[in-house]
Amino acid sequence: MKKLFVRISAIATIGLVLASCNNEEANTKALESDNAAVQALVDAKVATLDEEVTAACEEKATAAAQLVVDSLVKAKPALKAVVAAKPKSKPAAKPAPAPVAPKDPQKERAGGSGSVEEIQKQRNSDATKTEVENQKKRN
């Protein structure tokens, strides 16, 4: 009886092995479905991680912006305190303009009250030239 049982078991095992090897279409379909399931899991995990990274990045950016705003807010009262601390004084009264002396028409016709040397300097000087160039031009 043992021999009969062993023979039947061996034949069944060989049949199963041969049946599973010849079923390549079913294996391919199973492999594709497994790959699709794995890809769906990977996509879901990547989407979750992307959301977490985006949230962390936005949190850091918000914290940095808030830090800048806080530092500006802290600096603003200090500036107000400096401005407020300055004593308010009345604006200085403008001095009255000096009386203008009447002009002498004789001096105006003669070219003003400048000396001859001043007049020559004015004629020889050019606004764009330096004093050295003016000296060379005079010599």
Number of domains within the chain? 1
Report if residue 74 sits inside a domain: yes
Report if residue 24 sits inside a domain: yes
Domain that holds residue 69: 7-85
The CA-atom distances, in angstroms, between 102 and each of 107, 109, 111, 113 are: 11, 15, 16, 14
Report if residue 19 sits inside a domain: yes
Report if residue 117 sits inside a domain: no
Sign of the dihedral defined by the CA atoms of residues 34, 35, 39, 42, in that order:
positive
Give tens-digit pLDDT for 88-121: 555 556 666 666 666 655 555 555 555 667 766 6
Give tens-digit pLDDT for 16-67: 777 766 677 877 888 999 999 999 999 999 999 999 999 999 999 999 999 9
Report if residue 98 sits inside a domain: no
Report if residue 109 sits inside a domain: no
> Residue 3's pLDDT band (boundaries 50, 70, 90)?
confident
What is d(CA 4, CA 10) in angstroms, rounded to the nearest whole number? Answer: 10
